[in-house]
Amino acid sequence: MVTPQENKTITIYDIAREAGVSPSTVSRVLTNSANVRSEKKEKVQQLIKKYNFKPNALAKGLSDTKSKLIGVIIADVRNPYYAAVFVACEVAAKRRGYMTLLCNSLGDMQQELEQMEILRQQRVDAIIHLGGRADDLETNKKYVKKVKERLNVPLVITGKLDGLDCYKVQIDAKKAAELLMEHLIEQGHRKIALIGGRLDVISTYEKYQTYMSMVEKYQLDFKEEYIITGHYNNETGYIGMQQLIEQNTLPTAVVAINDYTAAGVMRCLAEHGYRIPQDVAVVSYDNTDIAKLLMPTLTSIDYNYDLLGERLVDTAIGAIGQEEVPELQMITPHLVVRESSVWTVQ
């Protein structure tokens, strides 16, 4: 049998004893919270190194009521969008001396609430919540009520939650949709379809709205059939595209709700013998790894995940420290043009 190495866990008291000082002095050099005579300080530091001493985070957290933990509830880290945001959060948090505690809610409200409880139990100092209830177009009253009752730490989201004091770091969905539409219009497209996503998700709804106003503004050829909602996956893209083809309402360009959906759209087009982008151009949101793997490579909207993660974390930490933090911040997306929408790219 394998037995864990028995490295006696040493405490602040052990250090203090051997250094000939009091535990508080050790604590002081640990936290740098007060001046300590340099000889003692050095002695202590030397012992800390010698024993590779790391203060017990549980005890520290219990004592000063700060766990230095930020809870992150996301829909699903297996989705590359959330994975990118999470890693960015982790990096940003680490840089500021925090750890992240990740929970995958799988978009389920019960899980979201339960995970919030668990995070509360772990005494996280703040919670970042992406996806699920935090991105609904219509705020779920019951959810807000429960959260309000239970949560006593700052909450940061990318969507909105009416009637709840929380911080928002949003991606400018309007801008994102405009970039895509203007790009397509520049390429001469006037028949543009929208595939995938649910209109009860705020960012999706905003993209839809922006689309409609662009249709108006540029007097595009519009058909009801061009709007196909659904999920955020491959199948939705495939089925949606199939529908357009079968209905004889083929557009010259498709805006997919994300890269997964775009992949489905592209497969369907290919199977039916349509060339991309010559016959139908395809573009999408999120610019995940997938965009570079597809053939042709996919034009997509990038959100600057590093910046998004940093903003989320900075906002959380600012709020923890009772700083004056803006309630609403915006991330400006940008367009990454690839083969699926332009003939002559690289």
User: Binding residues for a second copy, per CB under 8 A?
Assistant: 1-7, 9, 52, 54-59, 61-62, 67, 76-78, 80, 83-84, 86-87, 90, 99-104, 117-118, 120-123, 148-155, 165-167, 234, 260, 263-264, 266-267, 270, 289-290, 292-295, 319, 324-325, 327
On the question of a cis peptide bond just before residue 277, with omega within 30 degrees of 0, the verdict is: yes
User: For DNA, which is the closer residue by CB, 25 or 234?
Assistant: 25
By a kind-dependent CB cut-off of 5 to 8 A, residue 33 interacts, out of DNA, a second copy, none, with: DNA
For residue 7, state whether it binds DNA (rule: CB under 7 A): no
Q: How far is the CB of 287 from a second copy (least distance, A)?
A: 13
Say how far apart CA 157 and CA 170 lie, in whole Å. Answer: 8
For residue 83, state whether it binds DNA (rule: CB under 7 A): no
**Is residue 250 a contact partner of residue 314, using CB atoms and an 8 Å limit?**
no
On the question of a cis peptide bond just before residue 154, with omega within 30 degrees of 0, the verdict is: no
Helix axes 259-271, 234-246, angle to 10 degrees: 40
Q: Which of residues 15-34 bind DNA (CB under 7 A)?
A: 20-28, 30-31, 33-34
Say how far apart CA 94 and CA 87 lie, in whole Å. Answer: 10
By a kind-dependent CB cut-off of 5 to 8 A, residue 318 interacts, out of DNA, a second copy, none, with: none
Q: How far is the CB of 11 from DNA (least distance, A)?
A: 3
For residue 56, state whether it binds DNA (rule: CB under 7 A): yes
Among candidate residues 121, 128, 109, the one with its CA nearest the CA of residue 150: 121
User: For a second copy, which is the closer residue by CB, 5 or 219?
Assistant: 5
User: For a second copy, which is the closer residue by CB, 123 or 191?
Assistant: 123
Say how far apart CA 128 and CA 135 lie, in whole Å. Answer: 12
Per the document, the length of the chain is: 346
Among candidate residues 268, 267, 262, the one with its CA nearest the CA of residue 291: 262
Stretch (H or E) spanning 103: strand 99-104
List interacting residues with DNA (CB under 7 A).
Answer: 9, 11-13, 20-28, 30-31, 33-37, 40-41, 53, 55-56, 59-60, 62-65
